Amino acid sequence: MDTSVADLLQHDAAHLIHPLHHPQSQRQAQVWVRGQGALLFDQHGKEYLDALAGLWNVLAGHGRRELAAAAAKQMETLAYASCYAGNSNPPAIELGDRLAELCYPSINRFFLTSGGAEANESAFKTARYFWKTQGQGGKYKVISRVWAYHGTTLAAMSATGIGSYWPMFEPRVPGFSHIASPYPYRFDFQPTKGDTRTPGQAAADLLEEEILRQGADTVAAFIGEPVQGAGGVIVPPEDYWPRIRQICDRHNVLLIADEVITGFGRTGDWFALGRYGIEPDIVSFAKGITSGYFPLGGIGVSDRIAAAIDAGPAAGQTWMHAFTYSAHPVACAVALANLDIFQREGLLERARKLGQTLQQKLQSLASHRHVGDVRGLGFMAAVELVADKTTRAEFPADAQVGIRVLQSTLRRGMTTRLRGDIYNFAPSFVAEEAQLERMVNILGESIDEVLP
């Protein structure tokens, strides 16, 4: 194939359908050809700061030969063999041990998938399965939140709370409903006289109201990202998650933590809910486990759920859930090599330090008259642009402010993703301080250009 740029894009448009396909964006797209550390290079050789580490996943940075070597070695030894019905492979077994060490104390058993949506599908089915084993098969519904992103397979899409993902694929799966997000910048809590609750507690109580509205005997699980990622890095108040855990316990509802973004260090810990002193019943993960070098995701389940799965076959309730690529040996080998890099290079500690630096530097943008909110936790952050800082009013969608800022940052050599007029940051853990400084400067210059 002729590889001139125009030709590449023409072939692309002729034969590929992209995630979130739009022919217009396809015409202006970058063809990424190389990556190194926190940098990406496009078809013209132009360098970009990768402010989102791929799609929140390339934690160990681009260009790691060690991960390529781990994949090659495993492919030469055993590229694939089925893990159905108890069959296994050495990298999967070792990864299970490693995950049990890193994950929440009560979560010691793991089912592996190829990505995040498959992980969440597995979580929903496992929640339903669990309640059936407990003689409570009527508990099948799942509650999630507005601005949640849980993937785009049908059930994951139904849990996703970003409405633009729905209309052309509806009807959604029955039994999925949403409560408002604990969005400090926008959560509208007007306590009535005598109501002493904090906004975090009031946001959590929306879950209890929804459980009661649906009927607790019909609700299997609540799913939430500890920090909502694609929805615009929404960091809940500190007292939100402990109260969510209490509400789930009170009504026999399983708590699923979607840690596809927050898992493996993004918030400064291996998994994010520990900082709030709680554990989920099921955790889903993907992305960072291999730093994106090979597709891998999965769920971890609590000892209580694992015991139900183990007891299932005896009761005629076998857990008939599977993927061809579950526990893929190459994916597991890459994950192990990735975790080795984390430990050897102290990437978790580095992410904590870089996170503080990024949050501090981003504050320099807060005084701009259209920067409504600068927020983040650990090494993930967002800058929300608004039409009016006093009223927090958004720009009209057709003003395309976010997209124009994004285009300006691309021209200056930085790439990321938006949600509306919210600009997200989640760089790789190997980013240099000077690169973070440049990222913040580029965003500042681009906001000034679009909103002078």
Ligand X SMILES: Cc1ncc(COP(=O)(O)O)c(C=O)c1O
Q: Which residues bind ligand X (CB under 6 A)?
A: 55, 115-117, 120, 149-151, 225, 229-230, 258, 260-261, 286, 297
Tell me the closest approach of the beta carbon of residue 107 to ligand X, in angstroms. 17
**Smaller CB separation from ligand X, 141 or 150:** 150
**Smaller CB separation from ligand X, 127 or 308:** 127
Give the whole-angstrom CA distance, residue 351 versus residue 269. 9
Taking 3-state DSSP, the helix, strand and coil percentages for the chain, each rounded to the nearest 5, stand at 45, 15, 40
Task: Name the residue number minimizing CB distance to ligand X.
Answer: 116
Tell me the closest approach of the beta carbon of residue 193 to ligand X, in angstroms. 38
**Smaller CB separation from ligand X, 9 or 55:** 55
User: Which contiguous run of DSSP H or E holds residue 373?
Assistant: strand 371-377
**Smaller CB separation from ligand X, 290 or 408:** 290
SS (H, E, C) 218-237: HEEEEEECCCECCCCCECCC
Tell me the closest approach of the beta carbon of residue 326 to ligand X, in angstroms. 15
**Smaller CB separation from ligand X, 200 or 288:** 288
Angle of CA points 115, 121, 127, to nearest 5° = 135
Tell me the closest approach of the beta carbon of residue 228 to ligand X, in angstroms. 8
3 state SS of 37: strand
Tell me the closest approach of the beta carbon of residue 153 to ligand X, in angstroms. 7
**Smaller CB separation from ligand X, 115 or 236:** 115
Tell me the closest approach of the beta carbon of residue 327 to ligand X, in angstroms. 16
**Smaller CB separation from ligand X, 265 or 372:** 265
Give the whole-angstrom CA distance, residue 235 versus residue 181. 10
Residue with tokens 């299997």: 220
Q: Which of 380, 379, 375 is nearest to 186 (CA)?
A: 375
Residue with tokens 């904090």: 198
Tell me the closest approach of the beta carbon of residue 284 to ligand X, in angstroms. 7
Give the whole-angstrom CA distance, residue 381 versus residue 374. 7
3 state SS of 414: strand
Residue with tokens 């853990």: 429
